[in-house]
Structure 1
Amino acid sequence: MRWGLRLLAIVYVFFLVLWPVSLVVKYTFADGLTALTTALNDPDVLHALQLTAVVALSAVAINLVFGVWMSILLVRFDFRGKRALSALIDLPLSVSPVVVGLALVLAYNPRTGLFGQSLDSAGIQVIFATPGMIMATAFVALPLVIREVVPVLAEIGDEQEQASRSLGANAVQTFRRITLPSIKWAVVYGVVLTLARSLGEFGAVKIVSGNIVQQTQTATLVVESKYQGFDQATGYATAFLLAGASVICIVVVSFLRPKDQS
């Protein structure tokens, strides 16, 4: 029974993950490094990769700050509506990214959006610009840091934090010296998952970006554009770069994380 379950798990992962991903690698290097070199010399791809990095890192920074703060709020404080807030945090996991993108367009459209008109009057463009893409990406990756940090905070309890405050430490000192060291690996892993998710976001970003070449086209949109434009080799190479970046992040964290924290 044990070996049968292991074999079933391996077969499942192989056909669902390993085999499809290996085909991307296979077609990327079918002609050696030609496809990869062509992609890295393509100005559309280079701009898309740079924009993807900006959007992903910005979304990670936003979710890092609010994710840790929201985790502490959910674990350390009791308040009315706590369960509702916890449920709302999981909303991005159940809502289609396309719906998220459409909702942002309706809210921030400069012509008809509830907030878009005011922002447009102030000279701030959200939709079909980088801010909207960052908002969409941050939304779809919202729960990842929180769901890594909340269980760790609940497990370690608040005894050490209370002892720190009783000795005269303020909230910032307590967080920096007691709380943060206790949750650092949960934070790191949540950040890595957020980064991987942000790099691969497609649906929401496509809706809010307008998919304008060398302006609002991210790497995932380039993959679609190149593949449908019969430049499949460049599409494969760009997809390989995105997948490689995510895999490298996860592998690095796996090696850096102490064995007793794994």
Structure 2
Amino acid sequence: MADTRQVRQSRGPVTYALRIFVIVYLFVLVAWPVSEVVKRTFAPIEKGASGGVGAFLERLQDPTVTYAFSLTATCAIWAVVINTVFGVGISLLLVRYRFPGRRVLSVLVDLPMSVSPVVVGLALVLAYSSGDGWFGGALESAGIFIIGSTPGLIMATAFVSLPLVIREVVPTLEEIGTDAELAASSLGASGWQTFRRITLPSIKWAVVYGVVLSLARCLGEYGAVSVVSPGAPLRGETATILIQKRYTGYEESVAYAAAFVLVLISVLALVVVSLIRKPEDPK
């Protein structure tokens, strides 16, 4: 009751002022710019031209646009799968085990969030280019090409989204503790059985949320992929590269349509996750 009274007493002018400030901040920074993209997506290209949903769908039927979204989806899906598998494994390693270098590993996990994506792309080029790259020559002799191809785009996308699954799963693992896992082991369950029946159900919503955040991050990645990709139409041009090129190339209608699709996918993904997690988190 005391906590409730304190919360009620805090509803004064300062609280309402802070609410207004936050609403205005979000409107100026997020809602207004996104609404401009939506408005121009369905607007006619010029006076007398048709607009609306029909024009929007027509712009998306361009072969270069469909290729860009197909390549983006391929890179995003593979990056999410890689980061989910390794993210859960690294999370278990960081929480359930103590070993030399554990703190260094935890810092390295956060590195993609602090390093510019352009630097990430440059580092991948230096390491895997067929010319002066450390591993590029050996891989090229084996018929494997990284830079300028889909594997390079997947690596760049996976790098920038690496921490998202881990930073969702680690707090959940710390919260649930090890009592249930130790009890299962004492009853004769193997490591895989313990993970599948005890650990995974306990962290499933954290994994789902991390996957959705990773997917949204992968779909919108530009900096790293722009360095490792040829960036040519129908050859390494992802959706974000297409948006940048079409906008600067005075084909703004296509750029707006592609940008709207990326925004729509991200918003829908976050809405779905919020609905899924609602029964688990009554707050």
Scaled by the length of structure 1, what TM-score is found? 0.98
What is the Cα deviation at residue 40 of structure 1?
1.7
What is the Cα deviation at residue 34 of structure 1?
4.5
Aligned counterpart, 2:250: 230
Task: Determine if contact 1:223/1:235 at 8 Å carries over to the other structure.
Answer: yes
What is the Cα deviation at residue 99 of structure 1?
0.2
SS in 1 for 2:263: helix
The CA distance in 2 between the partners of 1:191 and 1:221, in whole Å, is 23
Aligned counterpart, 1:19: 32
Aligned counterpart, 2:112: 92
Aligned counterpart, 1:169: 189
The CA distance in 2 between the partners of 1:261 and 1:55, in whole Å, is 32
Aligned counterpart, 1:7: 20
SS in 2 for 1:13: helix
Q: How does 1:16-165 map to 2 (within 5 A)?
A: 16-30=29-43, 31-165=51-185
Closer, same or farther in 2 for the Cα pair 1:35/1:239, shift >3 Å? farther
The CA distance in 2 between the partners of 1:55 and 1:193, in whole Å, is 15
Name which of 233, 249, 258 aligns with 1:213. Answer: 233
List per-residue Cα deviations over 1:169-195 (Å, max 9, x = no partner).
001000000000000000000000000
Instruction: Mark the runs of 5 or more structure 1 residues left unpaired by the alignment.
Output: none
What is the Cα deviation at residue 256 of structure 1?
1.7
The CA distance in 2 between the partners of 1:177 and 1:258, in whole Å, is 23
Amino acid at match of 2:41: T
- Structure with larger Rg: 2
Of residues 187-196 and 30-39 in structure 1, the stretch that sits farther from structure 2 once superposed is 30-39
Aligned counterpart, 1:245: 265
What is the Cα deviation at residue 210 of structure 1?
1.5
What is the Cα deviation at residue 224 of structure 1?
0.8
Of residues 117-126 and 250-259 in structure 1, the stretch that sits farther from structure 2 once superposed is 250-259
Task: Determine if contact 1:105/1:208 at 8 Å carries over to the other structure.
Answer: yes
What is the Cα deviation at residue 93 of structure 1?
0.6
Amino acid at match of 1:162: L
List per-residue Cα deviations over 1:201-227 (Å, max 9, x = no partner).
001000001202102000001101111
List per-residue Cα deviations over 1:110-139 (Å, max 9, x = no partner).
111000000000000000000000000000
Task: Determine if contact 1:148/1:186 at 8 Å carries over to the other structure.
Answer: yes
Amino acid at match of 2:32: W
Closer, same or farther in 2 for the Cα pair 1:232/1:35, shift >3 Å? farther
List per-residue Cα deviations over 1:142-191 (Å, max 9, x = no partner).
00000000000000000000000000000100000000000000000000
The CA distance in 1 between the partners of 2:245 and 2:79, in whole Å, is 24
Report the number of matched residues: 262
The CA distance in 1 between the partners of 2:53 and 2:186, in whole Å, is 62
Cα root mean square deviation, aligned: 0.9
What is the Cα deviation at residue 18 of structure 1?
0.6
The CA distance in 1 between the partners of 2:238 and 2:157, in whole Å, is 11
Scaled by the length of structure 2, what TM-score is found? 0.91
Instruction: Mark the runs of 5 or more structure 2 residues left unpaired by the alignment.
Output: 1-13, 44-50
SS in 1 for 2:100: coil
List per-residue Cα deviations over 1:38-79 (Å, max 9, x = no partner).
322100000000000000000000000000000000000001
The CA distance in 2 between the partners of 1:70 and 1:45, in whole Å, is 36
What is the Cα deviation at residue 35 of structure 1?
4.0
The CA distance in 1 between the partners of 2:224 and 2:15, in whole Å, is 41
Amino acid at match of 2:213: L
